[in-house]
Amino acid sequence: MGSLQLKSIRKAFGNHEVLKGIDLEVKDGEFVIFVGPSGCGKSTLLRTIAGLEDATSGSIAIDGQEVSNTPPAKRGIAMVFQSYALYPHLTVKDNMGLGLKQAGTPKDEIEKRVAKASSMLSLEPYLARRPAELSGGQRQRVAIGRAIVREPKLFLFDEPLSNLDAALRVQTRLEIARLHRSLKATMIYVTHDQVEAMTLADKIVVLNAGAVEQIGSPMELYNRPANMFVAGFIGSPQMNFIDATRLGESGAKSIGIRPEHIALSRESGDWKGKVIHAEHLGADTILYLETETTGLLTVRLFGEQHYHADDIVYASPDRASLHRFDGDGRAIR
């Protein structure tokens, strides 16, 4: 079991309020990801759940039990950090088993759990090595292994992949997804990487300046963002925002259009414009246009497209995929 309930969590450092009343329900077995701009309070929220920071007010319950006054080691939580935090003088095996040893777990039980975790993470060949003799990806797997052997109610991950190179990030991301499926454990994960959030999460929590902007599945956030902040934050390249009056749309202040919801033609279409810059990515082509009607417009086309800077083009939005926002930036349904 590993459910989590946060009620009105507030946290201030001095008179700087970093968390401004966070409410959240995490179900047993859910994979929940916190995203948001730098400094919005993601890590502070995670550390508060772990007990590494004390909330200024509010309540934290794990499996229905209030834990606000429970020390970190007694909360049934295991945390994986960006920096791995391994002991350099201990072998992989001893790093993984240390927490259990300190908790007085019998030796054969430690052996069994370390063997199982190292098999899950393909770490068997490295058990006798020290952290300095491992790659960054292997070190992070040891850090994850150390969390697994504790059989926690909750796994907390603080940007675990951000020290890895691009290829290794993808590989380790897949491993974490697989691990979540096989352990059926509750995982809470902080990242600033959109793709990680979209691909791993059952539920994404979008934070902004210490408050929740929206909570939903990746596709809910993508298809039905509650406001312009979420609309602009989720999706890459970013959604285009156009003043509604320029499009003759009454009843809305801004219109949002995702770059992938715009078609392009050399002959005809809704908005005539000029290509400012073209990014040919192979699988996709990203074009930056300047049109008289919309101003700057980002367009994402599938596959290789032979558009280049200074080409004159016509852009046409998919009318069914427009997002409408009111003067306060809230989505109009």
Ligand X SMILES: Nc1ncnc2c1ncn2[C@@H]1O[C@H](COP(=O)(O)OP(=O)(O)OP(=O)(O)O)[C@@H](O)[C@H]1O
Task: Give the nearest distance from C-beta 213 to ligand X in angstroms.
Answer: 13
SS (H, E, C) 22-71: EEEEECCCCEEEEECCCCCCHHHHHHHHHCCCCCCEEEEEECCEECCCCC
> Which of 4, 9, 33, 36 is the binder for ligand X (CB under 6 A)?
36
Binding flag, residue 39, ligand X (CB under 6 A): yes
Site for ligand X in 190-209 (CB under 6 A): 192
Angle between helices 136-149 and 166-183 (to 10 degrees): 20
Task: Give the nearest distance from C-beta 225 to ligand X in angstroms.
Answer: 20
Taking the least distance from each CB to ligand X, the nearer of 39 and 106 is: 39
Report the alpha-carbon distance of residue 75 to residue 237 in Å, rounded.
40
Task: Give the nearest distance from C-beta 275 to ligand X in angstroms.
Answer: 34
Taking the least distance from each CB to ligand X, the nearer of 13 and 87 is: 13
Distance of CA 65 to the CA centre of its chain: 27
Tokens describing residue 73:
């080691």
Task: Give the nearest distance from C-beta 43 to ligand X in angstroms.
Answer: 3
Report the alpha-carbon distance of residue 120 to residue 237 in Å, rounded.
35
Taking the least distance from each CB to ligand X, the nearer of 52 and 120 is: 52
Which listed range, 40-48, 101-109, 110-118, 288-296, lies at the site for ligand X (CB under 6 A)? 40-48
Task: Give the nearest distance from C-beta 273 to ligand X in angstroms.
Answer: 35
Binding flag, residue 42, ligand X (CB under 6 A): yes
Torsion of CA 174, 175, 179, 185, to 10 degrees: -70
Task: Give the nearest distance from C-beta 195 to ligand X in angstroms.
Answer: 16
Binding flag, residue 48, ligand X (CB under 6 A): no
Binding flag, residue 240, ligand X (CB under 6 A): no
> Is the bond preceding 259 in cis, omega lying within 30 degrees of 0?
no
Element (H, E) at 263: strand 262-265
Q: Catalog residues that contact ligand X under the rule CB under 6 A.
A: 13, 18, 36, 38-44, 192
